Amino acid sequence: MHPLSVLIFVLLLGVLGVIGIVLIYSGIKWLRHKKNVFFSIVFLLIGIPAVCYLVLNWMGYNQIYNDNAKEIIGVFYSQSSDAVIEVKSDNTWICTGKSIPCKHGTWEYIMSEDWCYWNIDSDKSGSCFVQTGDPNIIQFRGNPLVFKKHK
């Protein structure tokens, strides 16, 4: 998704949240003073779903993100060498074996509108890097070894 469209979408959600909060506040304030009871109820009926939509949207996104990020955690074995990669839950990985130049690094899960993937990078700048959408296979760029997850 284009960054400008993401910005517009986030701004619209922010405006929706502010409008929802203002409507709820006005509705409660008017109900307390017993002014415009009809409009107070209408404001509450419009404001509460607006705020609930934002909260549920955030909770759903957060749950999906957390579930998907954990899928890559595990032990990966190379079928053609003795190398083993252990991906840990603290966003780090360690490689044992002599057939790969990188021994450790970090990983992060990226969730975007068009593709969800893991960035796996070594502590040595640029020597081992991969973006993979499959949580069961790791193959670093420029390295013929393919690591498959042990189930």
pTM beyond cutoff 0.85: no
Distance CA 102, CA 94 (A): 9
Per-residue pLDDT of the chain (151 residues), as tens digits, is: 556 776 887 888 889 889 999 999 999 998 888 888 898 889 899 999 989 988 888 888 888 888 888 898 999 998 888 889 999 999 999 988 877 778 888 998 988 777 888 988 887 766 688 888 889 988 888 778 888 997 7
Residues 149, 76: contact at Cβ < 8 Å? yes
Please, what is the Cα angle at 62 between 68 and 57, to 5 degrees? 125
